[in-house]
């Protein structure tokens, strides 16, 4: 999203490697004509079910970036409505943990991190002062910049869709290159927003037509993942006012990613490492919720330890639990589960289950300070 003052939190992203929801008619192995050449499908969500596929998306946004100055939302896991073939990221005026509004953000980190390719969504953006929907990309290594904003929209300005790239120049100074595609009113219908990313080349598309081009050595050459969100407020978008209608929704028909047939396979391979899932995203005192933690690795996985912790949205640790040794399993994927009974005295609000993976002598392999969010109501 269009801002140069981002501050990464010391919180790692969820990694999520299983794929299960419907693909488009063409398969992952078929050659598909897309802008810039023929390609194979590497990721798709057509939103054909009745709920968000949390094996493709993680919704714990607080482990990516802090809210930008002036933003008013807290991202919670019950802000996603799937039905009739679309996803609606819903922004609502309600208070949670001191925030005035709730909304949703989701990322493909773990399900898809890719170098180069073609990326596309078909979506309808909401009108209203203070609304800020976006589809964008961040690097897998959690550095910033670079950042590719495939599309951003300010609800107070229905005539412009923004496309921007952020990077550091050779002297380490932050740079950006942004421009807008204009229309009478982008909110009236669905539109396609796409990005061609090749070595030294970025081309943005709106409804299949080239809208912006950038070339040069500043173009990224390392894996990046997708994010979609609906922010409220911020220095660029401004706060909502009495004319802004809530609930508001950023409606998405599909999100797809492709890799060009002429890109070297080693560059194209998605990165998949860890997976965290929860049996419920919204709970109440007395409920039981099961969290599953996993790792995919090419090294032997015998004698690994898992450690889990429950923290609130301020970072206060509530519970720290087990360091169960994992039986020898050889290279590949393995997982462990933890079932938590929500105590009657746990205050309402947003909570995070984090976990770490260690060797038996406590050498850290990976630690996710934020694993997955769930909301206690």
Where helices occur in 76-187 by DSSP H, the ranges are none
> Annotated catalytic, 302?
no
Query: What would the 3-class secondary structure string for 178-241 be?
Result: EEEEECCCHHHCCEEEEEEEECCEEEEEECCEEEEEEECCCCCCCCEEEEEEEEEECCCCCCCC
Catalytic: which of 71, 120, 140, 147?
147
Burial class of residue 343 (count of CB atoms within 10 Å of its CB; 0-12, 13-18, 19+) = exposed
* CB-based contacts of 217, cutoff 8 Å, min separation 6: 200
Element (H, E) at 135: strand 131-139
User: Angle CA(166)–CA(169)–CA(173) in degrees, nearest 5?
Assistant: 85
Tokens in use for 352?
């995070």
CB-based contact 79:106 (threshold 8 Å): no
> Annotated catalytic, 210?
no
| Measured torsion, CA atoms of residues 108, 112, 117, 119, in degrees rounded to the nearest 10 | -30
Catalytic: which of 46, 140, 152, 251?
152
Burial class of residue 270 (count of CB atoms within 10 Å of its CB; 0-12, 13-18, 19+) = buried
* CB-based contacts of 283, cutoff 8 Å, min separation 6: 289, 342, 374, 375, 376, 377
Catalytic residue numbers, as ranges? 147, 152
């Amino acid at each position: 999203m269009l801002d140069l003052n981002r501050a990464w939190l010391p919180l790692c992203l969820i990694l999520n490697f299983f794929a299960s929801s419907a693909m488009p008619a063409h398969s992952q192995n078929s050659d598909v004509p897309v802008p810039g050449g023929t390609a194979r499908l590497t990721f798709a969500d057509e939103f054909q079910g009745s709920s968000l596929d949390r094996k493709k998306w993680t919704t714990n946004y607080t482990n990516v970036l802090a809210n930008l100055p002036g933003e008013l939302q807290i991202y919670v896991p019950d802000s996603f409505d799937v039905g009739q073939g679309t996803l609606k990221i819903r922004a609502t005026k309600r208070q949670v943990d001191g925030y005035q509004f709730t909304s949703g953000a989701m990322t493909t980190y773990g399900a898809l991190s890719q170098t180069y390719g073609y990326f596309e969504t078909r979506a309808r953006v909401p009108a209203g002062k203070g609304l800020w929907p976006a589809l964008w990309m961040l690097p897998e290594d959690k550095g910033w910049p670079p950042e590719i904003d495939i599309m951003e929209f300010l609800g107070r300005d229905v005539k412009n869709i923004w496309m921007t790239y952020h990077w550091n120049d050779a002297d380490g100074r932050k740079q950006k290159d942004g421009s807008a595609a204009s229309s009478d009113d982008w909110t009236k219908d669905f539109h396609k927003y796409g990005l061609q990313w090749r070595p030294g080349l970025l081309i943005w598309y709106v409804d299949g037509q080239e809208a912006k081009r950038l070339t040069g050595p500043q173009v990224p050459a390392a894996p990046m993942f997708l994010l979609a969100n609906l922010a409220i407020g911020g220095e660029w978008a401004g706060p909502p006012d009495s004319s802004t209608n809530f609930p508001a929704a950023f409606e998405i028909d599909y999100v797809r990613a492709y890799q060009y047939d002429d890109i070297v396979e080693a560059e194209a391979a998605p990165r998949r490492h860890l997976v965290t899932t929860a049996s419920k995203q919204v709970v109440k005192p007395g409920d039981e919720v099961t969290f599953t933690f996993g790792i995919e690795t090419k090294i032997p996985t015998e004698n690994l330890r898992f450690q889990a912790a429950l923290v609130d949205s301020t970072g206060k640790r509530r519970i720290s639990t087990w360091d169960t040794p994992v039986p020898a399993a050889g290279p590949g994927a393995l997982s462990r589960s933890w079932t938590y009974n929500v105590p009657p005295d746990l205050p309402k609000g947003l909570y995070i289950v984090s976990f770490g993976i260690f060797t038996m002598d406590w050498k850290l392999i990976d630690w996710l300070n934020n694993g997955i969010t769930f909301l206690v109501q």
